[in-house]
Chains A and B, each alone.
Chain A
Amino acid sequence: MPPFRLAHQGKTCSDSPRSHARLRAVALVFLLSAALSSCSGIQSALDPAGPEAEDVATLFYVMLVGGAAIWVGVVGTLFYATRVRREPHSERTAGWVILLCGAVGPVFILGALLTYAVWLLPNMRPWTAPGEEGGLRQIEVTGEQFWWRVRYLDASGGVLLETANEIIMPVGERVLFSLNAPDVIHSFWIPSLGGKMDVIPGRINRIALEASKAGVYRGVCAEFCGASHALMAFTVEVLEAEAFDAWLQQRLAADGSSGADGLGLFLRHGCGACHTIAGTQADGKIGPNLTALGARGSIAAGTLPNTQDNIARFIRSPGEIKPGVHMPSFAMLPEGDVETIAAYLKGLE
């Protein structure tokens, strides 16, 4: 490696092995910390909060160890060939090495890893037979461009309540998600709770997930679906059973009819043609349901923190925040009207 010169000192780095070593150590710590930061958090398959996700994480670690063993074997052989013994072996020995290390060994190692992965598969994706899902709580999730329509269903399959970009679920209870899409293919993925499942137009895919730890997690769209694919996330909040029941009752009773000024402007400017707010005349189905919007952790499908300013920003120019969004810009509205509507929406709980 050619030494690079430090201009102000007139020295080369190779003059100082200690500074070289320090530089390497800093780089290593930096790289390791960057890698390790992905091992925890609200959106990490390596920080599981459910039985399926635990199996996914276990599979990852087993494959990692398997891959590391293969890597050590390959690099060890390379080291042996270039550093330990530089003279050639006999052709007969080389033939045996190729047969054992190039064919028989990989067949058994890959066979073992494949068998383990397939053996784990039924646990990672528990099967719910048609007709057996009666006892499970059902949530219908529709992947739209670029947000998630979430409908809680009652025992008979009717819609109990609708929300968007948020899933609240009870801890320790398996929930069956029915996934569909009206436009393009999406993929529903809550890394902390389990594997992903494609959301395909014209088809209902189902995935049953269970959360074993209360907390807040993040779900994402895992299949490229358009310009704002990366801005199509949702919040998953796992509550204790009592807290979940309380949330459900509170959401069923949510009423957006207070805040007359904001509601009046909301309706007058036609927002109700696309959005629903329970307890009001706004009953549009095209866009996300905005009932209790103020209680959500984020707006625009996990894109911005839920503040009054951000709601106003989104109303004025949604396309700047989410390219390709279907909602038109409302920049032509008087500034005061936008602020009043944003304050009203932020106040909805």
Chain B
Amino acid sequence: MKRLLPAEVETLWTLFTAPVVWAGHFVICYVAVAIYCEKALVWDVDFDHVRLALGLFTLLALAMIVLSAYLAWRQWGFGSGEPPHSGPTDRDRRRFQGFATLLLSGLSFVAVFYTAIPLIFIAGCHL
């Protein structure tokens, strides 16, 4: 398992991973449905297929966020120390970043889930 996971690298980019997945999911969901609804009369694709595809994409996005959260948890030292990690040391800086990334991953997970709720109930385009 550990071999499959990327090695711990100290970069600020890991902090942005989950919010970037959230942003990408949001944009793709809205753009995909907007284009589909505009082309619904031209394309011979059922709306349920679009919902299903976006549902699978949502699961993929959630899985990526969970992975990001796991890496953040690891960076945080699996919760071995209490926040706020405010000491002027390399260790505290890593722990702080890990903790912040974990919180952002939680926020992104909920946001992606909220974005996907309409897929459950909205069954067609409103033209």
* Residues in chain A within 8 A of chain B (CB atoms): 103, 107, 110-111, 114-115, 118-119, 121-122, 125, 127, 129-130, 206
Contacts and interface: CB of A to CB of B under 8 A. Distances in A.
A118 B118 CA distance: 6
Interface residue SS majority, chain A: helix
Contact of B114 (A111, A130, A206): A111
A122 B117 CA distance: 13
A114 B113 CA distance: 11
B6 to A, nearest CB: 28
Given A103-B106, A107-B110, A129 B124 contact: yes
B34 interface: no
Nearest to A103: B106
A206 B125 CA distance: 12
Of the listed residues B110, B113, B118, B126, the one surrounded by the most CB atoms of chain A closer than 10 A to its CB is B126
A76 B106 CA distance: 27
Contact of B117 (A114, A125, A127): A114
B117 A121 contact: no
Interface in B112-127: 113-114, 117-118, 120-127
Contacts, number: 32
Contacts of B127: 127, 129-130, 206
Of the listed residues B113, B121, B122, B125, the one surrounded by the most CB atoms of chain A closer than 10 A to its CB is B121
B1 interface: no
A119 B124 contact: no
Interface string B102-114: 0000100010011
Contact of A122 (B106, B113, B121): B121
Nearest to B127: A130
Nearest to B126: A127
A108 to B, nearest CB: 10
A121 B122 contact: yes
B7 interface: no
B121 A119 contact: yes
Nearest to B113: A111
4 cross-chain pairs, A with B, having the tightest CB-CB distances, nearest first: A118-B121, A119-B121, A127-B124, A118-B118
B9 interface: no
A119 B127 CA distance: 19
